[in-house]
Amino acid sequence: MKKVLVLHGPNLNLLGTREPEIYGRTTLADINQRLAERAQKAGIAIDFLQSNHEGVLVDAIQQAAGNGCNFIILNAAAFTHYSIAIRDAIAAVTVPVIEVHLSNIYQREEFRHHSVISPVVQGQICGFGMDSYMAALGIVIRRFEEAAK
C-alpha cells in the first residue's frame, strides 16, 4: 500500500493557540484529520509524528523507507533554518520529501528567509496555512497516480 509520513516540527503542537495572528486557529489535530480524510479517499496510508526534538525527526526520516513510506511531508518549523542534521538525514534517504510551512517564511523575520533543507527536498510550499499541507498531499497523490499509469 502507498504510504505517506507527515512530520511536524517544534511548537506545532501548540497550533490553535500559538500566535494565532500568524498561524490561525487551526490545530494540529485539525490538520492531521483533514490529511487523513484526503489520504483515505485516495487509498493511501498516512502516519503522523510531531516532535520538539531534532533527533526524533532525524530518526523518523532515516526509518521512513524501512517503514514502507513512499513520501514524507515535512514541516520542520524552526529546524528549517538551522538543522544541518535534518538536512543531512533528508539527503541520505531515498524517500522524497516535500517541505511545507503554514506561514510565508519569506514575509517574516529575516532569519526565517533561509531554509537549509530546501536544497535536498523535492519542493517547498509555504504561506497557505493548512492548505500548504493539503497541496503537498495533492502532489503526492498525483505522483502516485502518474506512477500507476
Catalytic residue among 8, 23, 53, 81: 23
Total count of residues recorded for the chain: 149
Q: What is the mean pLDDT of each run of 10 residues along the chain (149 residues)?
A: 96 83 82 98 97 98 97 96 97 98 80 86 95 98 93
* The pLDDT of residue 24: 72
CA–chain centroid gap for 91, Å, is: 15
* The pLDDT of residue 17: 77
Range of the domain at 143: 3-148
Catalytic residue among 81, 82, 101, 133: 101
Structural domains in the chain (count):
1
* The pLDDT of residue 109: 67
- 114 given a catalytic annotation: no
- 101 given a catalytic annotation: yes
CA–chain centroid gap for 79, Å, is: 12
User: Can you spell out the DSSP letters for 55-93?
Assistant: HHHHHHHHHTTTTT-SEEEEE-GGGGGT-HHHHHHHHH-
The CATH number that applies at residue 44 is: 3.40.50.9100
